[in-house]
Structures are given as C-alpha cells and as structure tokens.
Chains A and B, each alone.
Chain A
Amino acid sequence: MPNEPAVRRSEHRPREASRGFWAEAWSRYRRRPIGMLALGFVVFLTAVAVFAPAIAGTKPVICRYKGKLYAPCLGYFNRRWEAPIFTTDKFRGTYPQNLQDKDPQSWAVWPLVFQDPYRRVRENEWPGRSENPSRDEGRPSRLNLFGTDQYGVDIFAKMVHGTTIALLVGFVSMGLAGSIGIIVGALGGYFGGWVDMLTSRITEVVMCVPTLVLILALVAVVEKPTIWKTMAIIGATGWTGIARLTRAEFLRLKESEFVMAARAAGAGPLRIMLRHILPNALAPVLVPITFGIASAILIEGSLSFLGFGPPPPTASWGSILNSARSNLQLWWLVVFPGTGIFLTVLAYNLVGEAIQEVTDPRLREAKK
C-alpha cells in the first residue's frame, strides 16, 4: 500500500505485524482473480445445493393448509420431513390441484421451476401446463430448460438436485479422509520410531487398495447401498496422500524452536501436536484435500455413469450421463451434466492451486 500516508502506516504497524498466517494467506488469495472466481463458483454451488428444493421441485416451498404452515419441499431432502398429513389426505404427490380442492383457503409459495427430479411431470399437473416429452423429443425448451431424458424426467431439476450429491460426496469423503490422514500422519511424524514405522506401512498398504474396485464389491455385497457408504469408502481409501504430507510437516516442525520451547514449558504431546504443530502444518494439507474433493466428485460421477452410483431415482450428474449412453444423439444429456462436472472439478482444482500458491513461501518466492 505505497500510496497510504506515512502516518497512518505507522499507526497500523503493530496490528499488521500481528496479522496471522491465515489472514495473510486470505489477503493474498483475494488478489487472485481466478482463485476468487473459482471460490465464488463453489459458494454458488453450495447455495444451489442448499436451496435445491426451492429452485426446482413440484412441492410447495411453504404452504398454508387447513390453518397450518408446512414446508413440503423439505421432503426432497428427507422423505420424513414432508408432513404426513399430505399422505393421509391422499395428495398422492401432486400438490397444485389438491391444495385447491381440499382447502380453498390454502396458499403456497412454489419453487422457481415447477419440475421434479424424480418423475415425469404430467399433463395439467400444474393447471394448463403440458406434460414432459419423453423418448428422444425432450430437447431443451421453455418448460424444460435443459431438456428431459428418455423417460420424461426434467434434466434441469436433476442437475439442481444432483448438486447436493456432488458437493456432499466431496465434503464428506474428504472430511473423513482429512481426519484419518491428519491423525495417522501426526502420530507417525511426531512420535517417530516404531509408531512411524507402523503408520507408514499401513499408509502404504492402503495406497494399494483400488477405490473403484472396492466400491463395486461393496455395491454387490451390501444389502442397502447408499451414497453415504460410497462416500465412506472414498474417504477411507483416499487419506494416504494427506497422511504422508502431514507426517512430513510434523517431522520438520517437531524439531523447530517453538516446539522445543513448548516442550520445555511442560506441554504434553497432545497439546504440542494440536495446539502448536497442527496449525502450522495445516496449509500444505489443505491442498491435497481440495484436490481430493475434485477427484471424489469425479469418482462419484464415474460410478453413477457405470450404474453403481446412489440408488435410483436419486439425481446425480453421473447418472444423467449414464442415461445418455443409450442414445448419444440426445446431446443435452451429455452437455449439461458434463459441463457441470467439468466446471466443478476445475473450480476445486483452481481453489487448491491458489491455496498452494498463497501458503507456500517457496512458491511465493519463486513468483517474485
């Protein structure tokens, strides 16, 4: 900030000097337009995932029925969250007409796009609206922004609801991988000796396990395969890179002066590891986690593409691609989910790269 008056600078000097590592990294990050753009895209996706039922759906976001307020759209997240009164009152899944018929006093706030990710919208389900086209006639139109698949299910609604899966897979599996990797790496790096020997060998063994094959085996064996189990496997096999980086950081940092000082002050191993070493070791570990999220999204996409994804009719981007396999002339079944996966993976990779650059002093030096 060369243009600022000298006086102000001197006033602020003490605060700037105490600015922490993370604050510093963030301010550097903010100066990277591509990194910011990518981060913005991830935030946008998160918003889409959270508000998916309000963006595309056939259940009211909020409605007043027989004097009470309900939010049936939550049923898209969990079937139990849709009030049972609509089952007992025989709504049978279609709200617009039933709300009117069964309670003329009722009102409702509808999602932005009246389309369902799990089924075909039928004739006059929304008064005056034609049914979804099926077969090969579902090209993008005003009613079906991204077209429909061969069975008449709207692709836009599937994409929006599929965002939840794509993001969840990334966060949950890498959250798990990150926890395992950091714990294993920290133990090995800090204690050394036989502990290090043991954790390193375990890491190497796990590295040999092919994730895809393991998931395919799971799908065949498990009684009720769910997306959560798939995430667990991706997480349980994807922590090895993180563990090795953490171990290297711990090996380096445990010899540093501030750790010695802490030890001299009587801090126990747990406190030293968590309080002193870990925060300083975290930056390099964030990078593989970010890349890991991207690769987890890709794995889920490939699994769904192969037909081993979350059970139908769960909407996921890979399963839309899968439905394109039988007829490649339906370009909209390839272009939209393909673009979605590509952009998301790209965004995570850009975020990862940016984090790497802003937190690694050597890279920073090299740039200068």
Chain B
Amino acid sequence: MRQNEQGHGRWGSWWLTASIGAGLLGTAGLIGCGGSSSPSPAPPPELVESAEERKEPLPAVKLAPLEPFAAPPLVELDQEASWIDRPVQDGLVLLQQAQAEETVRGTVADALALRNDSADANATILAVLGRLPKPDEADLSARIDRHVGGDLGSTNPIMISTSAEFDILGLTGFGLFSFGRDLEPFAASETVVSWQTSTDRMLDKVVLRDDLVWSDGKPITAHDIAFTFQVIMDPRVPVPAVRSGTDQLRWVEAYDDHTVVFFHKEALATNVWNINFPVLPSHIYRQTWEADPTLKDSPEHVRLEQSPVCGGPYEIVERQRGQQIVLKRRASWSTVRGEQVREEPYFEEVRFRIIEDPNTTLLALKKGEIDEMILQPEQWMTQTVDDDFYARNTKATAPEWVSFHFGWNIDTVFFRDRRVRRAMSYAFNHDEMLEKLCYSLYEPCAGIFHPDAWMAGAKKPEPYKQDLDKAEALLDEAGWIDHDNDGVRDKEIDGRSVPFEFSIMVNQQPLRIAICTLLKENLDQIGVRLNVRPVESTVLQDLTQNHRFQAYFGGWGSGTDPDTSENLWKTGAMRNFCNYSNPEVDRLYEEGRQEFDRAKRAEKYARIQEILSDDQPYTWLYWRNSFYGFSKDLRGYVFSPRGPYHYSPGFGSLWKPRQE
C-alpha cells in the first residue's frame, strides 16, 4: 500500500517494495478530497515500501509524554505577533480556473474512441476526459466502484498508514489543509475561514468555519483539533505514521470553538506540513481513550471501528472485511441548519472493492464491476490493447514521483568503498532494464528528486550507463582483484581472503526479480557473484530497517517537500537503511529546512542530490509512472506527481455524466 500522506509529507517516504502494481505507492491521499477538495491533509512525503504492508509503526525513537505548555492568551499573541495571511483555497475551483484556460483538444466521443497507444493519444484522453463537468452535466446520484489492493487496518483517521487507508479515510476524514497539483499547500476553504502565520514563523493561527458538523450531528470545533494533537502525541497510543511531523509541534491550543493556534518548536520551512494532521471527534473519544489508549480494543472502540463518526464529505455505511467498503455522501456535509453551505461531492456512493490479485482486478474492470484500477506495466502493454478492454474502458498514464533503486549497505566490507558502489552502478545494464524489462514505459532515474521537481535544481545528475571496463577498473582500484584465480574477485580483509559474493533482497515480484537477475548476470561478467534472494515484503522491511542486509531492491514515493527525504539520508535517520553518513548532507538538510527562499532552498537540495549521486549509496534505476484504467463512464481524472487521487481536488474532480 502506499502510505500516504496525509500528513503532509510528513510521513515520509513509503516503501515501495512491495507492490508494484497493486498498490503501489502510496500516495497520499488527501484526506478529504471529497467532493471537492476537502480539507485535507497534506501530502505525504515519501513512500513506503510496499506500502501495503506497512501496518506497524516505524520503529520510533522512544517518545516522551508531551510536556504541559501554558499557552499565552490570544490577545497577547495578537499583540506580539504580526500575522501574514496564507492562502485559503478550494482545490476544485483552482482546477476549474486552470481548465478554463486550456484549449479544448477534441470531443468526448473522439477521445473515448481513441486507443491510448501514443503520447499524443494519451494527452488527448487526459485533456478531454479530464475536464470538470459543466453545470448540470454531472450525475449527482452516481456511484463509483473503486479498487483497493488491500483492506483497511483501521478506520480511525489517526491510524492512517497504508494507501488503502489514504484512499478511504481521505474521503471520510476531516482536515484543515490540503495541497494542489503543484504540491503547494493551502488551507481548504470548505473548512477554514482564515489561516495566518506569524512573521517569525513560530505560530500558525486558523479560524474554522462555523457550519461544520460530524456525521452524528455534533459541531466540529477547534477543540477537536487541540484534543487530537494530545492523542497523537500520547506515547501510549500506537500511531503508525501521523506522529512524524506532528511531533515537531510544541502545542496546539483552541482559544474558542473556531480559533486554533499551532505553536512550533522551531521556525522551519516544513511547518506548513506539520500542522496538517487528521482530526478525531473529541466528544466521542474524550470519554473513551483514557480507558483504552490503543483506540481499538475496548467494546466502545470496536463499535467505532465498524461505524466511525466521520467529518469528511462521505461516511462509511458498510464494511465487509476483505470484500468491500461502502461510503455514502452525507447530507450534513453540504447542508447545515437547512442551508446549503458547500457543494455536494459528485458521487452519491463510493464503493471500494478489495481485490488483491492484479489479474482478477483487470477481469473485474473488463466486466464493468469496477470503474478504475492501477495497471501493471505488463497489463498496460499487452492486456489492455484490444476491443475486449476498450469496449468499456480507456486508460491513461502520467509521470509520478516514485523511484526504485538498489540500496548498498555501507556497513559491509563490500560497499564501504565508494568506488565499489560506483562500480556496481557502472556494471548494471540500465538500458536493457529500461527497454526490455520495463518495456520503455519508465524514465531513467539518477537521483533522489524527480527532474520535474523544483528541488531538483538546474543541474541534474546524469543517469549511469553500463560501462564494464570502468566498473572493472574501479573494482581493481578498490583492491577487489581475483588473487587466487578462481574467477571471483577477492580482497584480503583482516588477514582473510574475502570473495566478492553477496546477496540482494527483493520483493516477490516478477519484474523486480528480473531486474535483480539482470544485475546478477552483469556482475557475473566482471567476476562478482550475486545471489538474488526474494523475500516477503514484511521480511524485507524488517531486515532493511535493522540494517541486516548486504543489498536490497526498493523504492520510495516522493513526499511533497524535499525535507521529507531527510529521514533517508541523515546520519542515523530511521530509514537510512544503507547507513549512509555525510556531514555535509546532514548540514544541508538543516539549512534547507531553515531557508524560506525557494530558489535558495532548491540549491541546497540540488547539492544534496549531487553529493548522493557521486557517493551512490543507491544505484538509482527508474521513475515509475502512473498507469490507470478507467471506465468510459468516468470523467475528470487529472494526474499530479502523486497520482490522480492523492492531492486536492484529486478524487474530488472525478464525475460521471448524466445518462441521456
């Protein structure tokens, strides 16, 4: 699954090792994307490995209970701080404005008749079928059948972690903030009246709208937000993902029902993401959470798990484990006290069908049982090109910021030396992988930031190309020579001759195994022996987190902010599986966070990328694009670097036309 993001990018990257297809990465979902953009949380950061499997909390640093904080009175704050207004926007309106300026590329009938077999056809399909409805064009009583690759671990919004959870809780959860297609954060106008930041960047003040209610009819207030902060920061509560980032906040204080102030520990560029966390209904949990801090064991919590109180545009009306989850649009989202206060989301009902196997999923799409799915590259190339598929469906692709790599454990005798890591990158046949294994569907990857991203800077690292002579020269230089003439390079370490033979761990996925097998073939050619070891993704996560590996194949989804990659590269960071350590990189991350000028920030991150490219703690392989199959009844899909759903409006822009 993917993890997501609700938090704004805070939660870091997800691992992708697992599923490529299925779930892949998680993108984040926003929370709230409901009909309209809803308030949502922020984009996530990085990715998860296979996300679907990440159900356990990351091994976190032991958390101390929150120390009490005496928040100064609001009057005092207002006197001392000078406030800057921050954007309060509606993602759907932004999209409407953007689309109003686009030229129309053809008619819907033409686009539906197209076969997506060229970049041009893809662009036409996206431009024409991605448009929002004209007034009265959408069928507001429509139902969409969506696909998710795995069941929810929990319906509690602060337990969000996998991409399935982001998909679903994004529609049922309440949030104040969101981010658009460009990954720029804003407060959602559906829930927020105003958002201000103090000039010293130590405070954020948000005023909520007064026409918000939970699905049980109780008002949503600033106290819910302050309460949720306390719950998330309680070390007894097993929060898997949301705590990271939220823990950078010093305090959250509700001054009245509508005014909430976030106190930061430091002035950081990432603070805009840290204030975005999911919100619990305090009138429900205030009574129950002290008795059961797990939030899931007591009878009361079991009942809430089955039918949660929702704050987003949809509520969960049915949940069959392992089968499906049905959401219904709730009237109390758009109509409060008899008045319509918000636009209704386009779908009356959203049904999530849980299907794990990608082939079964494709059959369901072809039969019309589901309206959308993520396609595997092989499915895209070979199983979705005939009438059988195009009878009911079409498909679209777009770049997505998800990359894959080989990670080299620097704490092993083999990869301590930078020359050896570079030799690995030179040995690997990147072109063969891209053309023959990935069918030319993916772009080469040379570094940690997508070349389209602002943080990648102007000077982008060149992707490595296979050069066996160079690889051999580097290995010779590093002392790995075949001394005993047995066909395998070796080196004397501590008086013992160590042959260059190691294992690479990889998830049980045919493409990933094929890529590792190609590496094996390449290394074999230069006298290095590699054992490919496919393992379950949970085992892979466990071993990599504990640094018990020599090499692994994995992937990360990018967070919305470059700082989210800090936990991959900073010395001793949680997801620094390869034990990489470079004081300059550590310093640049610190500086990047404290720098507010985007151009200057980009320089810092571009420099980090350059250093990493030289050091090659990873051999970067490819950026994986999004591939989606959509029913011909669907309209309004617009892709962001996080895929078509996990931003604002994201899923909120999808609609079905009225039947004639």
- The interface of chain A, by Cβ under 8 A from chain B, is 79-80, 82-84, 86-88, 90, 92-93, 118-120, 134-136, 150-152, 219-220, 223-225, 307, 311-313, 322-323, 325-329
Contacts and interface: CB of A to CB of B under 8 A. Distances in A.
A156 to B, nearest CB: 18
B533 A224 contact: yes
A90 B472 CA distance: 10
Nearest to B468: A92
B525 interface: yes
A312 B382 contact: no
A92 B382 contact: no
Contact of A88 (B485, B516, B533, B534): B485
Given A84-B487, A152-B436, A311-B532, A93 B482 contact: no
Interface in B516-557: 516-518, 520-521, 524-527, 529, 531-536, 539
B271 interface: no
A119 B439 CA distance: 16
Given A150-B510, A312-B517, A327 B382 contact: yes
Nearest to B538: A220
Contact of B378 (A92, A219, A307, A326): A326
A176 B531 CA distance: 27
B513 interface: yes
Nearest to B506: A312
18 contacts: A87-B487, A88-B482, A118-B517, A120-B436, A136-B382, A151-B437, A220-B539, A223-B503, A224-B531, A312-B513, A312-B516, A313-B532, A326-B359, A326-B376, A326-B378, A327-B382, A327-B383, A329-B382
A225 B533 contact: yes
Given A84-B482, A87-B527, A135-B439, A326 B539 contact: no
B457 to A, nearest CB: 35
Contact of A92 (B510, B514, B526, B533): B526
Interface in B27-53: none
B532 A307 contact: no
A326 B358 CA distance: 8
Interface residues of B, number: 39
A92 B525 contact: yes
B486 interface: yes
A326 B514 CA distance: 14
A83 B437 CA distance: 30
Given A82-B487, A92-B468, A312-B517, A329 B383 contact: yes
A307 B508 contact: yes
A135 B510 contact: no
A313 B468 contact: no
Interface string B334-377: 00000000000000000000000011000000000000000010
A313 B520 contact: yes
Given A84-B485, A93-B525, A118-B517, A134 B533 contact: no
Most A Cβ at <10 Å: residue of B381, B486, B488, B510: B510
A80 B487 contact: yes
Interface in B461-517: 468, 472, 482, 485-488, 503, 508, 510, 513-514, 516-517
A136 B383 CA distance: 9
Contacts of A325: 359
Given A87-B527, A118-B521, A136-B382, A312 B532 contact: yes
Interface in B366-398: 376, 378, 381-383
A164 B359 CA distance: 31
B597 to A, nearest CB: 47
A46 to B, nearest CB: 28
A136 to B, nearest CB: 4
B377 to A, nearest CB: 10
Nearest to A79: B529
Given A79-B529, A134-B436, A311-B531, 5 more contacts: A84-B487, A93-B524, A119-B521, A223-B503, A311-B534
Contacts, number: 86
Interface of B: 358-359, 376, 378, 381-383, 436-437, 439, 468, 472, 482, 485-488, 503, 508, 510, 513-514, 516-518, 520-521, 524-527, 529, 531-536, 539
Contacts of A150: 378, 510
Contacts of A311: 531-534
Contacts of A86: 487
A265 to B, nearest CB: 57
Contacts of B513: 312
Nearest to A152: B436
B465 to A, nearest CB: 16
Closest 9 CB pairs of A and B: A84-B487, A92-B525, A136-B382, A87-B487, A313-B517, A307-B508, A151-B514, A87-B527, A312-B532
A118 B524 CA distance: 12
A153 B114 CA distance: 34
Contacts of B468: 90, 92
A223 B531 CA distance: 11
A224 B503 contact: yes
A79 B525 CA distance: 12
Contacts of A225: 533
A12 to B, nearest CB: 59
Given A92-B525, A307-B534, A80 B486 contact: yes
A54 B519 CA distance: 26
Nearest to B509: A307
B532 to A, nearest CB: 5
Contact of A87 (B382, B482, B520, B535): B482
B533 A135 contact: no
Nearest to B527: A87
A296 to B, nearest CB: 22
Contacts of A329: 382-383
Contacts of A328: 359
B510 A323 contact: yes
Nearest to B532: A312
Nearest to B515: A151
Nearest to A226: B531
Nearest to A221: B539
Contacts of A93: 521, 524-525
A84 B484 CA distance: 10
Most A Cβ at <10 Å: residue of B485, B524, B532: B524
A298 B376 CA distance: 30
A39 B436 CA distance: 42
Contacts of A307: 508, 534
Contacts of A80: 486-487
B609 to A, nearest CB: 31
Contacts of B529: 79
Nearest to A223: B503
A329 B384 CA distance: 12
Contacts of B381: 135-136
A312 B518 CA distance: 11
Contacts of B383: 327, 329
A80 B485 CA distance: 11
Contacts of B536: 220
A80 B508 CA distance: 28
B538 to A, nearest CB: 9
